[in-house]
Amino acid sequence: MTEKLRRTLYNIYMAAFLFYLLVPLALMGGAAFNDSKLPSVYPWKGLTDRWFIDLWNDETMWYSFRNTILVALAVVLLAVPIGTAAAIVINSISGKVRSVLYGVMVAPVLAPGAVIGISTILFWNKLNVPTGLHLSVLGQVSYIAAFVMLMVLARLQSFDENLEEAALDLGASHGQVMRRILLPHLYPAIGAGAAIAFFQSIENFNITLFTRGTSQTLTVYVFSKVRAGITPSINALALLLILVTFSAAVIYEVRRRRAATIEAAREAEARRADEAGII
């Protein structure tokens, strides 16, 4: 097999994979415009916007949507400080204690959501806390904090501890070192961690199902709709969610590229200065 042929085969495979990933989403979104009582693009019965209007008038949807956002915000507010603190703690220790602690922190990511949900309600029930969305928040934080921890830890490993010492040496207090030196370095990871926490919370189903009590969130609502008599207004919702996700991803990527361009220009300037012997 020649190099060129192999490369072509790889490209075809990649394209096929992207097709496989994206077409189901496109089909689901397309069904939102089909004037058919069943959510499908086939058979096509003409273009309509009535599923979007149905969705807009669906009060349960709005109620679930509001709950989902509130839960996600609460998860971000808890998981980000917890994950950041845990990353700083684990970064400062080594040896056996570190591996054990790390294992306990990462385990909830792998644990089935049902198990997390059930253990959460059993534990808080003992402390006389009833089920409800507040328990969904706590259950979700137990594994989402691990994502934040992993992101911040990765960023911490590229941190030069000399910067902290330099700031202390120049007279900064511990709080000032934190605010002016360490946190600014961690902001990209904390921001990405917050975004991950937010999206993970929105799409969480397993833990929420067991802990929610009688409240609704968007995923649970969609799930119940799909099971019991579905209308294409769900497709309209899906399409809107996909568009929001896609725009957020594009904005993030554009900003990242802009920052990379600026940094590359700066480094080029420094290189030119070095080469020109400017001292």
Partner 1 sequence: MDDLLRRYGPTLTGAFMLLTAFWLLMLVILPNITLFEASFRPYLPVVDVGGPKDFYSFNNYGKFFANSTDTDIFGMNIPLPIHVKIFFGTIYYSTLVTVITFVVAYPLAFYLAKVVSPKSLPTLFLLLFVPLWVSEVLRSFAWWIILALKGPLNAILLGTGILDQPVRWIMGYRAIIIGLVYTYVLFMVFPIYNAIQSLDTNQIEAAQDLGSPWWRTHLRVILPHAKPGIASGSVMVFMLSAGSLLVPALLGSPTSLWFTQTIQQWMLESQDWNTGAAYSFLFLILCTCFVSLVMWVFKVQLTDIAK
Partner 2 sequence: MSAGIDLDNVCCDFGSFRAVDHVNVSIKPGEFFSFLGPSGCGKTTILRMISGFTDPSSGVIRIGDKDMKGQRPNQRPTALIFQNLALFPLMPIWENISFGLEVRGVGKTERRAKAEELLRLVDLPGAADKMVSQLSGGQKQRVAIARALAVEPSVMLLDEPLSALDLKLRQHMRAELRAIQKRTGVTFIYITHDQGEALAMSDRVGVMSQGKLQQVADPRDIYNNPSNGFVASFVGENNIFAGTVGAVADGMARFDTAHGTFRARVNTTSGKDLKLYVRPEHTIISSFPGAENSLPATVTDVAFEGNFISVHAVSDSGATLMAELRNDGSSAIPVTGEKLHMSFAAERASILPDGLTRGE
- Shortest separation between residue 74's beta carbon and partner 2, angstroms: 30
> Is 33 in a helix, a strand, or coil?
helix
Q: Which of 35, 37, 42, 187 binds partner 1 (CB under 8 A)?
A: 42
Q: Which of residues 240-269 bind partner 2 (CB under 8 A)?
A: 263, 266-267, 269
- Rounded to 10 deg, the angle between the 233-275 and 3-30 helix axes is 140
**88 is a site residue for partner 1 (CB under 8 A):** yes
Across the chain, the runs of DSSP E, i.e. the strands, are none
**279 is a site residue for partner 2 (CB under 8 A):** yes
**107 is a site residue for partner 1 (CB under 8 A):** yes
- Give me 205's structure tokens: 């189903």
153, 277, 136, 143: which is closest to 220 by C-alpha? 136
Long-range contacts: 253-258, Cβ < 8 Å, 24+? Answer: none
- Give me 26's structure tokens: 């496109």
Instruction: Please return the burial class of 277, using the count of CB atoms within 10 Å of its CB with bins 0-12, 13-18 and 19+.
Output: exposed
Residue 171 binding: pick among partner 1, partner 2, none (C-beta 5-8 Å cut-off by kind): partner 2
Q: Which of 69, 77, 106, 192 binds partner 1 (CB under 8 A)?
A: 106
Q: Which of residues 196-255 bind partner 1 (CB under 8 A)?
A: 199, 202-203, 205-206, 209-210, 219, 222-223, 226-227, 234, 238, 241-242, 245-246, 248-250, 253
157, 117, 107: which is closest to 140 by C-alpha? 117
**262 is a site residue for partner 1 (CB under 8 A):** no
**168 is a site residue for partner 2 (CB under 8 A):** yes
- Residues 6+ positions from 108 with CB-CB distance below 8 Å: 116, 142, 143, 146
User: Which residue lies nearer to partner 2 by CB, 59 or 169?
Assistant: 169
> Is 229 in a helix, a strand, or coil?
coil
Stretch that binds partner 1, among 59-67, 69-77, 171-179, 267-275 (CB under 8 A): 171-179
**85 is a site residue for partner 2 (CB under 8 A):** no
**259 is a site residue for partner 1 (CB under 8 A):** no
Q: Which of 14, 56, 89, 165 binds partner 2 (CB under 8 A)?
A: 165
Stretch 171-210: interaction string toward partner 2, x if CB under 8 A: xxx--x---xx--xx-------------------------
- Give me 156's structure tokens: 């911490």
User: Which residue lies nearer to partner 2 by CB, 167 or 239?
Assistant: 167
231, 174, 165, 201: which is closest to 80 by C-alpha? 201
Distance (Å, rounded) from C-alpha 19 to C-alpha 41? 17
- Shortest separation between residue 7's beta carbon and partner 1, angstroms: 7
Q: Is residue 180 within a helix (H) or strand (E), and if so which, with residue range?
A: none
**164 is a site residue for partner 1 (CB under 8 A):** yes
Report whether 145 contacts 82 (CB < 8 A): yes
Q: Would you tell me which residues interact with partner 2 (CB under 8 A)?
A: 160, 162-163, 165-173, 176, 180-181, 184-185, 263, 266-267, 269-270, 273-274, 277-279
